[in-house]
Structure 1
Amino acid sequence: MDTRASLSESPVIIADREAWEEINLRDAGTVEVEIGFGSGEYLLRRASQYPDRLFIGIEKKPGMITEVAKMVASRNLDNIRLLESCAREAFTELFPACSVSRAYSLFPDPWPKRKHSKYRLFSPQFLRLLNNRLISGSEALIVTDSEDYCNWVLTQLPGTGFEVENGTIPPQFDTRFERKWLKQELRTFFRILLRKTEHIEA
C-alpha cells in the first residue's frame, strides 16, 4: 500500500497547502494545537471532550499520522486535522498571528546530549514565535520527564512575553511515553504552563 497516497486521500490529514487554506483559522473559533502528538491519545481525548473546538496535531512521522488518522475516522471525529511537519516550519509558515487558543507539547524530545541541545524546540526564537501565534491571554503547556530539560526551558523564557507557572505533577495524560516512564517507576513529571501576557512581534 502506498502510504503517501493514503495520506493524501484522508480528509483528516492536511496533505498540501490547498488543504490547509481550506481551514479558516480566524473563523474556526477555539483552535488547539498539539506539537508532536505521537500515538494521538491526548489529542483524541481532547477532541472527544470538546467537539466545538478545532484540534490540529503536528507530527513529523508519517506512520504515526496514518495510524492516528485511522483512529480519528473510526471514532467519527470531524474536529481534528493532522499536519506532517516540524513545529518550527508549521508555526512559521502556516499559522497567522493570534490564531491559536491553546498549544501543548507532552514529553518533547529533550535531546539530552550537550552536542544535540541545538535541536531542542523551545528556544527563545521559537517561544517568541509561539507567543505571536497565540491569542492574548491563552496558554501553552509543556510536560517533560526530564528535570534538566525543564530547567533549560525556564532559562529560555525571559523576553518571550509569557508569565510562567511551573512545578511537578503526577501522571495524568496516559500517553505512550508517560506509560513508558511509569513502567520504569517514574511517578513525577515536570509541568511548565506559559500564559501569554505580552504580544511579541515575530
Structure 2
Amino acid sequence: MQNPAPETPSTATPRPDRVHREVVSFVRRSARMNASQEKAWQAWHSSRVVPVAQGQTETSVAPQPPLDWAEVFGRRAPLLVEIGSGTGESLVSMARQHPQANVVAFEVFQPAVASTLGRMAREGVDNVRIVMADGQQGLEHLFEPASISELWLFFADPWHKSRHHKRRLVSPEFAQLVRSRLVTDGRWRLATDWQDYAEWMREVLDAAPGLVNEHLDPADPEHTGWAPRLELRPLTKYERKGLAAGRTIRDLTYRKTS
C-alpha cells in the first residue's frame, strides 16, 4: 500500500511539546570544560551555585517565590547583584572589596562559572553565590521588590545589528524591573566599550521614571552624564582588549529615586 502523503504546513498537527524560546540577551556557547574547570566545579558548585526552578528552557527561571537570600548566605547583609559575570575577573575582585555585602551573580555558561569558582577559592572570597540562569528572569522571580542595593552590568553584549537590538538587555521594560528591585537610593552601575551601546543606554535610562543619572547636570558642563571610571572595578582582560582596539570605555551610574 502506498504511504500517505506528508501533511502540509497548513494541516499538520502542532507538536504539543514544542518549546517557545524567548528573546534573550546572550547566545549559548559550548559547555565543555577543561581539567581545571572540572576540578573547580566538582569542588565548589554544590555550595556556591544556587539551584532554582527552571522554566521551559535550561537557562530560564520559572515563576516562584523570591529566595530568602539571608538563608542562602547564612547572614543578613546588603545585596549586590551582577548580571553576566563571565569568568569572575571583575566579580570576585569587587566582592572582595565589599566583604560586608552578599553578592549574587548571574552567568549562563558553565565553564565561565567553573572558572569563577576556582578564582573565588584562590582569592579566599566567600560572599558570592552564582545562579546559572537568565539574569532578567532571575531579577524578576528571585528577588523581593526594593531588596537590592546595587546592580552591576558591565560590558553586556551590544548586539550591533539593528535587527538584533531587541536582544539588548537595557530597555525601558528592563529599566523598570531594575528600578522595582533596587532599594531607594540604590545604584545601577553600567559600563561598555561600544559608543553606540553607551548612547543607547543613555537614551533609555536618562528617560526612565524613578531613575536619575548621577553625573548629569545641565547647569554644570563637567557633569555630562558619563560617570568616572568606577575605581573598584578592576581592569579586566576584556576591557584591556577594548582599549587596545582604540575604543572608549563609558561608565554610567543611575540612582533609584522612587
Higher radius of gyration, 1 or 2 = 2
- CA shift, 1:9, in A, is 4.4
Residues 7, 153 of structure 1: alpha-carbon distance in 2 compared, 3 angstrom cutoff: farther
- Residue of 144, 152, 155 corresponding to 1:96: 144
The question of 1:108 aligning with 2:156 is answered yes
Q: Which has the higher helix share?
A: 1
Structure 2 equivalent of residue 178 of structure 1: 239
Structure 2 equivalent of residue 167 of structure 1: 226
SS at match of 1:89: helix
Structure 1 equivalent of residue 197 of structure 2: 149
Structure 2 equivalent of residue 190 of structure 1: 250
Residues 64, 153 of structure 1: alpha-carbon distance in 2 compared, 3 angstrom cutoff: same
Aligned counterparts of 2:147 and 2:173: Cα–Cα separation in 1: 18
Contact 1:144 1:191 in 2 (8 A): yes
Amino acid at match of 1:116: H
Structure 2 equivalent of residue 13 of structure 1: 49
Contact 2:153 2:190 in 1 (8 A): yes
TM-score (norm. length: structure 1): 0.85
Contact 1:34 1:58 in 2 (8 A): yes
Contact 1:69 1:82 in 2 (8 A): no
Aligned counterparts of 1:93 and 1:180: Cα–Cα separation in 2: 35
Runs of 4+ in 1 over 6 A off after TM superposition: none
Structure 2 equivalent of residue 51 of structure 1: 99
- CA shift, 1:136, in A, is 0.2
Aligned counterparts of 1:9 and 1:128: Cα–Cα separation in 2: 32
Q: CA-to-partner distance for each residue in 1:86-127, whole Å, 9 max, x for gaps? A: 121111110110111111111111101000000000101000
Q: CA-to-partner distance for each residue in 1:24-66, whole Å, 9 max, x for gaps? A: 38x7221111111112112111221221211111112111011
Unaligned residue ranges in structure 1 (runs of 5+): none
Q: Which has the higher strand share?
A: 1
Contact 1:167 1:191 in 2 (8 A): yes
Aligned counterparts of 2:197 and 2:45: Cα–Cα separation in 1: 38
Contact 1:124 1:160 in 2 (8 A): no
Aligned counterparts of 1:32 and 1:148: Cα–Cα separation in 2: 27
Question: RMSD value over aligned CA atoms?
Answer: 2.6
Aligned residues: 194
SS at match of 2:226: strand
- CA shift, 1:173, in A, is 3.0
- Residue of 105, 111, 117 corresponding to 1:69: 117
Contact 1:8 1:15 in 2 (8 A): no
